[in-house]
Each structure stands twice: as C-alpha cells, then as structure tokens.
C-alpha cells in the first residue's frame, strides 16, 4: 500500500513538474531564485519543526495555516520535513532569508526573526499559488530598502480595528514593515489620551463629511492590541501627532493651546510660543511613547501657513518673535519645530517630520525627513545635502488619494495621476538626484489620505493594487524589478484579494471594477 502511494506520488510529481516550472509567483519578487525541474508535493502529515523558540512558533503557525487548506489530500507516511532554522550566528543580513525547497525537505533559514518570518511568507505564497505542489528551488532574498511603509489617515475618516488588522495581514504578506498611522488632524483626534479626556470626548467628534458624526477613536487598549498584532507580523507602528498645523481637533477641545486661525482654518495651529503648549505636547507624547514602542514619533510639521493668520496680529506672538530674534512667523514655526524635536529627543525617541522641517535648522541626528512635495525636488536634494535621512512618499506617485485611471473621477490629479506603473517604476526617475546619497534614503511609503474616502470599499479600491506595486518597488532590488513580469504575476494576487472579499481596481479589465460612488458631490474633483 505504501509502495503504491509512493509510486502515485512519484508519477504525480513528474506530471505536475512540467506545469509548475518557471511559474513561481512571489510578491515582492526575490533577489535570487534558482529552480530545478523537480517538484515537492506538500502533504498534510509532513513534519514541521523549528530549532528554538521563535522558529518553533513559526513552525506551529504554518501547521495551523495548513490545516485550513482543502487541497492537501495525498496521505502518505512522511519522512520529509519543513524546517525553520533561526541562527543568529549565520551571516544573513537583518531581513534576509533563504528558502530551499528540495524533493525531501524544505529549509527556511535566517539570522533574524524578520528574515525567518519573510521566508515563511514566501513559502506560504508558493503553497497557495501552486496548491501545495512546489517547484524545487532555492530563493535567497533581502530587501532594497529598510523602510517599506503604508500610511493610513484615520482622522478624516475612521475605519476601525478590524480593517486595520486586515491591512496589517496584507502588509505582512507583501513584506511591508512600517505602518504610519495618521491619527490626528483638523477633522478629528482618534486616540485616547488619559490626561486629556476632551481630546476624545470632543476632539474625535466628526469626520470630513459631517462635523457632527459620532465620536470615533481608538482606546489605549485598542492601540496596544494593534501594536502587538503588527509586531507579530514584523510591522512597526509609527504614530503621527501632527503639529503645529493640522491641530484643529486638539485646539477645539483645548482652546487654551490654540494658535488661532481664520475661517475654514480656525484653530488650525497650536499656540506657537506659550509654555503651556509645550507642556501639553510633552504630556501627550509621554502617553504616546508608552503605547508605541517604535523608536520614532512623527510630529507632522506640514502646511502651517494654511492657518497661522493670527500669528501675524497677536501682540504676544509678535513680541515673542522680536525678543527672540526669530525674524518672522516662519522663524517662529522653525523655533516650534526645534523645541518639539528636542522634547522628542529628550524622551529617547527620534522625530520624523514632513519635508518642511528641512528648513527648521534641526540637527540631522535628531530627525528624519519625509519628502512629500514631488514638485519640490530641491527640497529632497536639500535634505540629502544637509545630511538628513529621508523617506520618500512624494504625492506623485505615492499618494493614494490621487486617481489611478483616466476615467476615474473621484480623487486628486496634479499634472497627471498615479497609475500602477508609475508607482512600480519609482524611484527610477529620480535616481540621478539620490546618487551619492543612497545610504541616507531609508525607503518609501504609500500614503493614503482619506478626505474623499469615506468607506472601506473606496479605501480598498484606492489601495489595491497600487500597494502591491509599492511593496515590490521597495523590496525588490532595482536590477530585479520588471514591470512586465509584475503585471504577469499580478492576477494571482488579485485572486487572493477576491478570496478575502477585498475590492480593488482591476487594471486588466477596468470596466469590471467600477469606481465606487463618491461619498459627496464635492468629492468629484479634477484638480489640486
């Protein structure tokens, strides 16, 4: 009986080998891949083991995942194994791994937890794609960039814990490792701060379309749960506390720290020079730091000029500018940034700020710059020349609120829009700028602003498939990136999205996935 089963397996292996070969599909595409004309058929009673604590955990996770697969039905007595080996002495780079599939054994190896985790994600994709019939191959893989991020704005619209967890799962499978969480802005404050309860009882009321919408926010318990969920998937969560601008929700709740503002931008800024403001910020940061173990805190720093009108007329602010030789309101803005960066540094963390902070005169050792103004390439160059580390999230092509297809109507455009291909090809068009500064470029990020994204369907549609392209652009070595090959593989990932019930734009059949309705008439924008 055993003999017959083995023969059956052998014949099956050869039949399938022909179809499986040269069809390995992995996202993102790996650094090295060699394959043989042989096949490994996964069976349900295969031995899966690790060589210690974390490797054992991954082995158990894989066992659990396999239980849910209906296609593993060939039952043979097993000598073959899947082995997870974490060896901190081996000479893999931090996130690198090796995945070796032989006819008798699958070996996953790395010198770090991150690497071993990614080896498992790669294997899992191959199992799903080939329904357990794996090409014998050897993958040696490591990333191009250390920062592979996704930003979600939950101030303008709130999506909640389950959606965030679903995205963290997808990010992990794409080897994205940073979740930048934009939780504060003019529309709403979305995180419980025990010392300042009005931040949530008042500050979290409303969304972009309805200022009276019921309060929506994350409790500290929720935050801890999500941070742990992300850490389990090798994802670092970076909170953003946007200041001194985009602070409307805070200042609405605590007018004593407001810097005024006018009309639509009322209460847009923190008061830039009251000691009370800095005490308030420091206290909030204490709670944020307790919740988020990441070494970084994003402090915003963008678009202050939108709502700093009262800085020009308030006699106390004007006196402060004169007495401290700050020259003008921009000098005052820079003073504010320097103080906050120092507060963050005094708490043992590194600040991240939008690219305006390049001009604030902060030491490059204390802050990391997020370059977003694609039309100001000199700001990127200046950041690099001054010695800052930089994360690239230029509006074009990395802002998810820009449309992705010519006939789409809801979302931004600015001398064009952000197609899947433009996301994939980045940063080749600006490589010339970064030459000589490569070590300062930490990586890149797809940023999803949600003014015009009021529900999950629109969020999914604007995120996918562009986030898959970003993941490959950030992970895969530039020499291995190839848009045609990516597009050939893409239908497989789209099928996985279908299985999870996630809506996306299908670039191969645009009319089969129509743009979800605009949340509001005014959302049908063409410019800006």
| Catalytically active residues, by annotation | 185, 246, 303
Which residues in 335-354 contact ligand TNX (CB under 6 A)?
A: 354
Residues whose CB is less than 8 angstroms from the CB of residue 356 and which lie 6 or more positions away in sequence, other chains included? 301, 302, 303, 304
Which residues in 286-325 contact ligand TNX (CB under 6 A)?
A: 302-303
Q: How far is the CB of 354 from ligand TNX (least distance, A)?
A: 4
Which residues in 89-118 contact ligand TNX (CB under 6 A)?
A: none
Which residues in 353-372 contact ligand TNX (CB under 6 A)?
A: 354, 372
Residue whose tokens read 């069809």:
23
Is the CB of 55 or the CB of 462 nearer to ligand TNX? 462
Residues whose CB is less than 8 angstroms from the CB of residue 95 and which lie 6 or more positions away in sequence, other chains included? 112, 114, 115, 118, 142, 143, 146, 175, 177
Q: How far is the CB of 156 from ligand TNX (least distance, A)?
A: 7
Binding mask 435-474 for ligand TNX (x = CB under 6 A): --------------x-x-----------------------
Residues whose CB is less than 8 angstroms from the CB of residue 401 and which lie 6 or more positions away in sequence, other chains included? 411, 412, 448, 449, 450, 451, 452, 453, 462
Q: How far is the CB of 523 from ligand TNX (least distance, A)?
A: 12
Q: How far is the CB of 356 from ligand TNX (least distance, A)?
A: 8
Is the CB of 165 or the CB of 373 nearer to ligand TNX? 373
For residue 333, state whether it binds ligand TNX (rule: CB under 6 A).
Answer: no
Which residue in 168, 206, 163, 167 sits closest to 456, CA to CA? 163
Report d(CA 279, CA 254) in Å as an integer.
13
Residue whose tokens read 């500050």:
203
For residue 417, state whether it binds ligand TNX (rule: CB under 6 A).
Answer: no
Q: What is the distance of C-alpha 197 from the center of its chain?
A: 29
For residue 401, state whether it binds ligand TNX (rule: CB under 6 A).
Answer: yes
Alpha helices in 81-189 (DSSP H): 113-129, 161-173
Preceding peptide of 454 cis, ω within 30°:
no
C-alpha distance from residue 144 to each of 36, 428, 438, 490 (Å)? 26, 13, 11, 20
Is the CB of 182 or the CB of 271 nearer to ligand TNX? 182
For residue 399, state whether it binds ligand TNX (rule: CB under 6 A).
Answer: yes
Is the CB of 122 or the CB of 207 nearer to ligand TNX? 207
Q: How far is the CB of 451 from ligand TNX (least distance, A)?
A: 6
Using CB under 6 A, count the residues that bind ligand TNX. 9
Is the CB of 281 or the CB of 462 nearer to ligand TNX? 462
Q: How far is the CB of 383 from ligand TNX (least distance, A)?
A: 14
Residue whose tokens read 């329904």:
131
Is the CB of 27 or the CB of 372 nearer to ligand TNX? 372
Is the CB of 121 or the CB of 185 nearer to ligand TNX? 185
Q: How far is the CB of 402 from ligand TNX (least distance, A)?
A: 7
Sheet with 133-141, side-by-side order of all strands: 32-41, 133-141, 97-101, 105-110, 81-86, 47-50
Structure tokens at 400: 């998810």
Report the helix count and the strand count for the chain, using DSSP H and E: 17, 14
Q: Which residues bind ligand TNX (CB under 6 A)?
A: 302-303, 354, 372, 399, 401, 412, 449, 451
């Amino acid at each position: 009986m055993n003999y017959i089963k083995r023969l059956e397996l052998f014949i099956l292996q050869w039949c399938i080998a022909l179809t499986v070969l040269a069809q390995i599909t992995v996202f993102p595409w790996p650094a090295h891949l060699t394959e043989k004309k042989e096949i490994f058929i996964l069976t349900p009673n295969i031995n899966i083991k690790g060589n210690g604590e974390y490797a054992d955990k991954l082995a158990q996770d894989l066992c659990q995942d396999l239980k849910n697969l209906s296609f593993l039905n060939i039952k043979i007595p097993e000598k073959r194994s899947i082995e997870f080996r974490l060896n901190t002495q081996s000479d893999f780079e931090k996130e690198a791994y090796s995945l070796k599939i032989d006819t008798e054994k699958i070996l996953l190896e790395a010198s770090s937890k991150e690497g071993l985790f990614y080896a498992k994600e790669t294997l899992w994709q191959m199992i799903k794609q080939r329904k357990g019939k794996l090409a014998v191959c050897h993958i040696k893989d490591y990333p191009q960039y250390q920062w592979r991020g996704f930003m979600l704005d939950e101030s303008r619209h709130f999506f909640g814990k389950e959606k965030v967890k679903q995205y963290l799962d997808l990010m992990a499978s794409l080897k994205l490792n940073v979740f930048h969480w934009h939780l504060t802005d003019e529309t709403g404050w979305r995180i419980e701060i025990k010392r300042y309860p009005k931040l949530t009882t008042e500050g979290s009321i409303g969304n972009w379309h309805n200022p009276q919408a019921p309060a929506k926010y994350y409790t500290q318990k929720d935050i801890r749960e999500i941070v742990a969920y992300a850490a389990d998937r090798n994802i670092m969560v970076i909170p953003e506390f946007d200041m001194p601008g985009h602070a409307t929700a805070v200042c609405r709740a605590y007018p004593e720290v407001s810097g005024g503002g006018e009309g639509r931008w009322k209460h847009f800024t923190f008061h830039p020079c009251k000691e009370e403001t800095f005490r308030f910020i420091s206290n909030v940061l204490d709670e944020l730091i307790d919740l988020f173990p990441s070494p970084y805190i994003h402090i915003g720093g963008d678009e202050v000029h939108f709502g700093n009108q009262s800085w020009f007329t308030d006699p106390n602010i004007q006196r402060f500018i004169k007495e401290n030789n700050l020259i003008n309101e921009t000098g005052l803005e820079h003073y504010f940034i320097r103080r906050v960066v120092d507060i963050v540094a005094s708490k043992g963390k590194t600040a991240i700020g939008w690219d305006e902070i390049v001009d604030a005169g902060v030491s490059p050792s204390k802050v990391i710059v997020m370059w977003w103004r694609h039309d100001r390439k000199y700001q990127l160059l200046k950041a690099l020349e001054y010695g800052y580390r930089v994360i690239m999230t230029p509006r074009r092509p990395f802002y998810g609120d820009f449309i992705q297809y010519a006939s789409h109507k809801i979302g931004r455009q600015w001398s064009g829009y952000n197609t899947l291909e433009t996301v994939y090809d980045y940063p080749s068009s600006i490589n010339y700028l970064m030459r000589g500064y490569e070590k300062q470029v930490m990586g890149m990020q797809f940023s999803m602003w949600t003014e015009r994204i009021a529900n999950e369907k629109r969020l999914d549609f604007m995120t996918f498939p562009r986030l898959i392209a970003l993941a490959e652009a950030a992970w895969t070595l530039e020499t291995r990136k190839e848009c045609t090959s990516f597009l050939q593989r893409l239908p497989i990932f789209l099928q996985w999205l279908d299985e999870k019930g996630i809506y996306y734009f299908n670039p191969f059949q645009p009319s089969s996935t129509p743009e979800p309705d605009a949340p509001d008439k005014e959302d049908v924008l063409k410019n800006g």
